Structure 1
Amino acid sequence: MLIYRFLTGEDDSSFCHKVTKALSEGWQLYGSPTYAYDAVSKKMKAGQAVTRNAKDQPYDPDRKLVDY
C-alpha cells in the first residue's frame, strides 16, 4: 500500500528538517514543493508531498500515517 502525506510549515530551516526527517524514515519526495504567501502572518509557507510503501498492511483511517 502506498501512503501519502503532505508536509507543511513556514519556509525556514525547520521545514527543511521536517522533510529531511521524513526522508530519513523511508518517505520519498512526491512532486515538487509548493510555496504560498500567508498574508495574515506575512510569511512564506512551504509544502511537500511524500509517499512511502507499507507492505502487507491494510489501510486503517484511525492509524497515524507515521505509524505505518
Structure 2
Amino acid sequence: MILYRYLTGADDAAFCHRITAALNKGWFLYGPPSLTYDAEQKRVVCGQAITKDVPDREYDPGLDLSTF
C-alpha cells in the first residue's frame, strides 16, 4: 500500500524537524512544498506532501498514518 500525508505548519525549525523525522522513517517528499501567508497570525505557513510505500499491508481508512 502507498500512504499519503500532507504536513502543514509554521515555516520554522520545528516544521523542518517534522519533515526530517518523516524522511528518516521512510517517507518521501511528494512534489514541491507550498507556502502561504497567514495575515491573522502574521506568519508564513508551509505544507509538504509525503508518501510511503508499505509492502504487504492493505489500506484501511481507520489507519493512523502518523504511526508509520
Length-normalised TM-score, structure 1: 0.94
RMSD: 0.9
Q: Count how many residue pairs are aligned between Structure 1 and Structure 2.
A: 68
Q: Structure 2: which 5+ runs fail to align?
A: none
Length-normalised TM-score, structure 2: 0.94
Identity, % of aligned positions: 49
CA apart distance, 1:67: 2.9
2:19 matched to 1:22? no
The answer for the alignment partner of 2:55 in structure 1 is 55
Q: Structure 1: which 5+ runs fail to align?
A: none
Secondary structure (helix, strand or coil) at the match of 2:45 reads strand
Secondary structure (helix, strand or coil) at the match of 2:36 reads strand
Secondary structure (helix, strand or coil) at the match of 2:5 reads strand
Q: Which 4+ runs in 1 deviate beyond 6 A?
A: none
User: Which structure carries more strand by proportion?
Assistant: 1
